[in-house]
Amino acid sequence: MRRGVRLGVDVGSVRIGVARCDPEGLLATPLSTVVAGESAVDDLAVIAAEEGAIEIIVGLPLSLSGAEGPAAAKARDFAMALIARVNVPVRLVDERMSTVEATRSLRASGVNSRKGRSVVDQASAVVILHHALESERLSGRPPGRAVEEGGTE
């Protein structure tokens, strides 16, 4: 397992949830929510620099069949914009069911639906990052696929 802080990102149409892990990659925790829009990539680049991130994991919302829809295209575009702005690797990982898992977990911990809306994006980012860390721990390889500047993966 590589050592260093990683960020997990859940790209939504209104909000972008951000999570971080400890330098040992053991625990993913909620960090912040960024407003989706023109400044989102810059805002996330600032967070990555402040946190000393060695990598950014962006969730790729595939359908249950594995196909990419409009939400996946938006996440991919965001990752492409991000790789052009930061000096650390950006990786896309399958995030199927992360929002469902995060919502279920919040509900089980007693977070009401009104407050849950404000934290579900961060919780989803935690789930995405947790699954990526587990994948790396089990396989010994970085999770998902690296995003390359210029449009290739």
Task: State which fold the 6-141 domain adopts.
Answer: Nucleotidyltransferase; domain 5 (3.30.420)
Q: What pLDDT does residue 102 have? A: 64
DSSP 13: S
Domain locations in the chain?
6-141
For residues 90-114, average pLDDT: 73
How do residues 105-122 score in pLDDT, each as one tens digit?
767 777 765 666 658 888
Q: Predicted confidence band at 92 (pLDDT cuts at 50, 70, 90)?
A: very high
Q: Predicted confidence band at 145 (pLDDT cuts at 50, 70, 90)?
A: very high
Q: What pLDDT does residue 51 have? A: 98
Phi, psi for residue 28 in degrees, rounded to 5: -100, 135
Is the pLDDT at 9 greater than 60? The verdict is yes
